[in-house]
Amino acid sequence: MVPTPTWHRFASSEELADALAQSVAKTLAKGVEERGQAVLAVSGGRTPAHFFDRLSRSDIAWNKVTVTLVDERFVPGDSPRSNARLVTRHLLQNKAARAGFIGLYSPCHNAEAAAAEANEAIGSLPSPFDVVVLGMGADRHTASFFPDAADIGDMLSAREGGPSVLAVSARSAGEPRLTLSLDKLSTARMLVVHIEGDDKKETLEEALAMPAGPASPIGAVLTAAQNPAHVYWAPLR
């Protein structure tokens, strides 16, 4: 059984973006106060742009915050499919332009080599991360844990001590991917799933009712979560 997360439902994407930005900013500020620095790991895709715009205007000590990605496509930073590009354009702006950024992509010969490089950089960050904001696809993938990835079972059963960044190859994902490990995601002090639209709400409700595992990577992450997880939902714009 997947532990039931706390749902935060909003009438619009704008209201959701305001509330989520406020809550994330508060948690990052608390992290800076307690540890002198804070880490925020965010998703890519279409959903988070509006939330990023709001969060970038939050008045916190961004120079003590490092932003990273929960996952990335193995594409250069100027590709329209790059999650780093989305974060650079929408989050690392305004007040948040002072934040540090560690991406997962590097121009290596393959995703495995890029994952090894990113693993070094991610390993230098304080652990656990302060905030992880996940998205979710219609196939119940989250970060780049895709149900049809060859070694999805192994990736979702790996616990503490393994690499923090993994290379992923899945037919449904298109290009190769890089993802933070289950351990990195599930140990976050604040774990949020940000989804919009009725379809995704139904998909997540189904995932919460089915066994966590390769067919339901979002369920696996929520089951492994070390702190109560939060779902932020609004209808599609």
Ligand X SMILES: O=C1O[C@H](COP(=O)(O)O)[C@@H](O)[C@H](O)[C@H]1O
- Per CB under 6 A, residues contacting ligand X are 43-47, 70-71, 83, 135, 137
Give least dist CB 71 to ligand X, A: 5
For ligand X, the closer of residues 71 and 183 by Cβ is 71
Give least dist CB 166 to ligand X, A: 14
For ligand X, the closer of residues 32 and 166 by Cβ is 166
Show the CA angle centred on residue 184, arms to residues 145 and 138, nearest 5°: 25
For ligand X, the closer of residues 65 and 70 by Cβ is 70
Task: Please tell me the number of Cα atoms within 13 Å of 96 on its side-chain side.
Answer: 27
Give least dist CB 116 to ligand X, A: 20
Element (H or E) spanning 221, and its range?
Answer: helix 217-224
CB 102 within 8 A of CB 68: yes
Distance, in Å, from the CA atom of 103 to the CA atom of 78, rounded to the nearest integer, reads: 13
Give least dist CB 220 to ligand X, A: 15
Distance, in Å, from the CA atom of 85 to the CA atom of 91, rounded to the nearest integer, reads: 10
For ligand X, the closer of residues 56 and 83 by Cβ is 83
Q: Is the peptide bond before 128 cis (omega within 30 degrees of 0)?
A: yes
Give least dist CB 35 to ligand X, A: 26
For ligand X, the closer of residues 47 and 58 by Cβ is 47
**Amino acid code (one letter) for 222:** L
3-state DSSP call for residue 224? helix
Q: DSSP strand E in 53-150: where? A: 65-69, 71-73, 100-102, 131-134
